Amino acid sequence: MSDLHELSASEQVRALRAGDVSSHDLTEHYLARIDRLDRQLGAFVTVDAEGALQDAARADELLARGEPGPLCGLPLGIKDLFATAGTRTTFGSATTAEYVPAEDSWTVGLLRSAGAVLLGKTNTPEFGATCYTENDVTTRPAVTPYDPGRYSSGSSGGAATAVAAGLLPVAHGSDSAGSIRTPAATCHLVGVKPSRGLVSPAPAIGFVSAGTEGPIARTVADAALLLDVMAHPAPGDLYGWRPTGGFADAATRTPGRPLKIALWTETGVDGVETHPESVLAAQRTAALLRELGHDVREIPIPVTLAEPVQQAFVAWFGYSVSAAVSALVPAERRNLLQPYSRYLAEAGDALSGNEVVQTQSVLARYAGGFLGALDEFDVALTPTTSAPPVRIGHYHEHGVEAVGNRMLNWSCHTPWANLTGQPAISVPSHVDGDGLPHGAQLVGRRCHDAELLSLAAQLEDAALWEDHHPSCWS
């Protein structure tokens, strides 16, 4: 059974239902790989082997009775920003390292009800505030298995590392500024950020939310498999909506018509050029889309990341971290915060209510510029990141005050889609001569998630990317 992880998640589900493999054997296979490989990769914060094997035993009983849920028996990891009943949820912070929730978050509950076997919690930065995954809970940052000296991005870095290294078949992630898409790009994976409201943030409540949960997977079909389970908004969700059909079905068909697609590769950041390999990722994708009959038109970037917008992003990060720290961290434990988190929390604490509203207004105008410019297009196409995966320590080379802008320089292609609420997906493009992965981002119309998945599946079927794996895969 040394090759079980070679099967896609969809193939594993079919093998479980056919009785070709048991959930117990599948779970033990992944637990053994985690035990053997994760010390060098930093994918997990917590591994619950005992609980996972209990979940697997229950799944095997349901499979034997012919009563499986859609994920019955499939091993899964949950990002450690989301509550898991009975399993510690650290939020990537030493300040809350021993917190054990009494209840699951809404989406975790859906995944459990679907029969998933929860192996543990995947690595995330402190309160999810950075596009790199490094904290004081784990001894190693989450790294891309393609080069363990480089981050697998964040804040869903652990999830992407786990899937790319064959420690999980598919993983749960979340994305507030690119946190599913940029890790997917650094690990040669598919990462889906759904439209606002498709996946409920419950029990969190807010009038404005840039973040949402979504899947990280090896294939479009695997991402759709997980998204079908997650896409059931909680009752009372302000933005909740339900799709008219299944996403797994959407991933088996091509778009029903040629799509009009806008392409740009500029970063929009003064003085920051997109790396040639990142440009190539978008251009390769555009060329194939044209061959498939779509109308791809190169346009100037609709809105730049001017200094006021960058300042607004950093202020918004500060406000968000300040709110999390106020809600979760007792005053006597604030000394355990990492330096950048402390910097953000203090900056957020200093904001007045008027300044928070002004920050939201700047970001709303920035987002509105994209919506207006893209009104005539079905899809936007960009690189996912402005450069290859970065080396460990890169973001702190010029002190905590520079971290926010250095992150935006690298991840500048993704945050706008969070603010507009549009669905976005990062698909693999290629692995460069240094062995580093690069991805392309596709952004669709709001609530047209199924069309976007169909387009990504069409690219996959047309062999936009090869089936690469890192050296630890075998």
* pLDDT tens sequence across 154-174: 999 999 999 999 999 999 999
Q: Is 79 a catalytic residue?
A: yes
Check pLDDT > 50 for residue 150: yes
Which token pair is 49?
Answer: 């082997």
Q: What per-residue confidence (pLDDT) applies to 1?
A: 44
Q: Is 260 a catalytic residue?
A: no
- Can you count the helices (H) and strands (E) in the chain? 15, 13
Average pLDDT over residues 431-438: 98
Cα separations in angstroms, 388 against 124, 183, 249, 439: 20, 11, 33, 9
Q: Does the reported pTM lie above 0.95? A: yes
Pairwise CA distance, residues 208 & 265, whole Å: 28
Cα separations in angstroms, 107 against 104, 225, 227, 228, 250: 8, 14, 10, 11, 21
Check pLDDT > 90 for residue 205: no
Average pLDDT over residues 134-154: 98
Provide the domain count of the chain.
1
Q: What per-residue confidence (pLDDT) applies to 317?
A: 92
Query: What is residue 239's three-state secondary structure?
Result: coil
Q: What are phi and psi of 379, to 5 degrees?
A: -145, 150
Check pLDDT > 90 for residue 208: no
Percent of the chain with pLDDT strictly greater than 70? 99
Pairwise CA distance, residues 28 & 8, whole Å: 17
- Catalytic residue, from 23, 79, 93, 386: name it: 79
- Residue-wise pLDDT for 10-35, tens only, equals 999 999 999 999 999 999 999 999 99
Cα separations in angstroms, 31 against 2, 27, 37, 119, 210: 12, 6, 10, 8, 34
- Catalytic residue, from 22, 23, 152, 155: name it: 155
- Residue-wise pLDDT for 221-268, tens only, equals 999 999 999 999 999 999 999 999 999 999 999 999 999 999 999 999
- Catalytic residue, from 23, 176, 179, 195: name it: 179
- Residue-wise pLDDT for 352-401, tens only, equals 999 999 999 999 999 999 999 999 999 999 999 999 999 999 999 999 99
Q: What per-residue confidence (pLDDT) applies to 206?
A: 72
Q: Is 155 a catalytic residue?
A: yes
- Residue-wise pLDDT for 38-78, tens only, equals 999 999 999 999 999 999 999 999 999 999 999 999 999 99
Asked if 193 and 452 count as a contact pair (C-beta separation under 8 A), the reply is no
Domain span holding position 328: 4-473
CA 94, distance to chain mean position in Å, is 23
Q: What per-residue confidence (pLDDT) applies to 447?
A: 98
Nearest to 212 by CA among 226, 196, 235: 196
**CATH number, position 400:** 3.90.1300.10
Mean pLDDT of the chain: 97
